Amino acid sequence: MDSILVTGNGPLNGQIPIAGAKNACLTLMPATLLSEEPLTLTNAPRLSDIKTMTALLQSLGAEVSSLQDGQVIAMSSHSLTSQTADYDIVRKMRASNLVLGPLLARFGQAVVSLPGGCAIGARPMDLHVEGLEALGAEIELKDGYLHAKAPGGLKGAVHEMRFASVGATENIVMAATLAKGTTVLKNAAREPEIVDLVECLRKMGAQISGEGSSTIEIQGVDRLHGATHQVVTDRIELGTYMLAPAICGGEVELLGGRMALVESFAAKLDAAGVSVTETQNGLKVARKNGRVQAVDVVTEPFPGFPTDLQAQMMALMCTAEGTSVLEERIFENRFMHAPELVRMGANIEVHGGTATVTGVETLKGAPVMATDLRASVSLILAGLAAEGETTVSRVYHLDRGYEHVVRKLEGVGAKIERIKGE
């Protein structure tokens, strides 16, 4: 297996281009299943998860082509051959469950395996099922697969989710675009990726309002047509690279970054002593002066602090002045990076969903192991600030969410290389 070797090398300076959002693209791709006409996505990220979703759509009979070095994805679902999403593909990635709503809406039936993804706690499908059942679907679990049917088609309804789940919001909204009548989804998630999905669906002819708020209204239509849509900037990649000059010093401009995508995160950086300013081309980040200060973090649904930036923020807090408390409220079991940071000299105590981090002046390079996608990049950030060499193993997780990490960090002066495994 490949590993990444990082050597602490001082401040970082320059520019890093930010890719299209993984979580947005993985949501937009299943939208092709809603129409017989082509859907083309631009600004697509080049990641292993995108390849997994491509394989899943192709297994259903969709035509999917990667163009312009992978940054354009051209899709057509005019002649699907299956409505079954097999375990062998779905187990690799949580977002695979997003084919359920579109298949059910267009064909009145779907069989989808329970999903996999990073081992960061239980992420059940009950909110998806409840929402689709509110639209008239009949769903049962058999042998690890959700068997869904709607013989008379889906019908609009008023449904309030128990939790503002991003994936469930996306599945329900896509399904409701072809349902008969009006659907009102309450306590909907408000993430930018959902706003991006709605913008794409609207280009395809859907009638939707309220995206970005907690109530989304969908007026069902008979059919959707083709469209071309640009994937929104990846706010998690943006936040991750904002932390690079914060933890190492220097000044880095993140090309394509927008403050609206990371306001709560940028506010925490400001409180920690890190300057974030908008430029004509993106966001510029630099330490204000000296060592960063400890700040407390609570992960929350958007527009709160993102759970997908918690591990990276912990890496920064490891070298902050003072003690910070990080509380994880979205996923349990999401502090698996903490013991690896401790191997590098960090002072971290974990009790349930809370981690207490007392900053140390310097981290020390060490061999560490990535446990999930965001944990892997948090260890790279820590390695950039550490004395000596840090070897991060099991970096296949990294390829699921970050394109060209080595190239992007090298471009701003980091000493980092990928070591090919046997």
Based on the number of CB atoms within 10 Å of its own CB, is 13 exposed (0-12), middle (13-18) or buried (19 or more)?
A: middle
The question of whether 118 is a catalytic residue gets the answer yes
Query: Pick the catalytic residue: 118, 200, 248, 318?
Result: 118
β-strand pairing of 158-160 with 12-17: unpaired
Q: Are 64 and 57 in contact (CB under 8 A)?
A: yes
Contact 27, 96 (CB under 8 A): no
- With contact defined as beta carbons under 8 Å apart, do 132 and 112 qualify? no
Helix 310-317 and helix 263-272, axial crossing angle in degrees, nearest 10: 10
**Whole-number Å distance between alpha carbons of 273 and 88:** 46
CB atoms within 10 A of CB 379: 31
Torsion sign, CA atoms 404, 70, 396, 307? positive
Say if CB 61 and CB 84 are below 8 A apart: no
Sheet-wide strand order for 182-186 = 158-160, 182-186, 215-219, 207-209
The Cα 163–Cα 404 span in angstroms is 35
At 208, give phi and psi (nearest 5°): -135, 140
Contacts of 197 (CB under 8 A, 6+ apart): 24, 27, 28, 31, 170, 173, 174, 211
Q: How far is CA 299 from the centre of its chain?
A: 14
Q: Token digits for 417? A: 């290389």
Within a 13 Å sphere around the CA of 136, how many CA atoms are in the beta-carbon half? 20
**What's the Cα-to-Cα distance from 253 to each of 249, 275, 386, rounded to whole Å?**
13, 12, 22
Q: Which residues contribute to the annotated binding site for UDP-N-acetyl-alpha-D-glucosamine?
A: 94, 123-127, 308, 330
Phi, psi for 279 (deg, rounded to 5): -125, 180
Q: Which residues line the annotated binding site for phosphoenolpyruvate?
A: 22-23
Residues 341 and 339: their CA atoms lie apart, in Å, by 5
Active site residues: 118
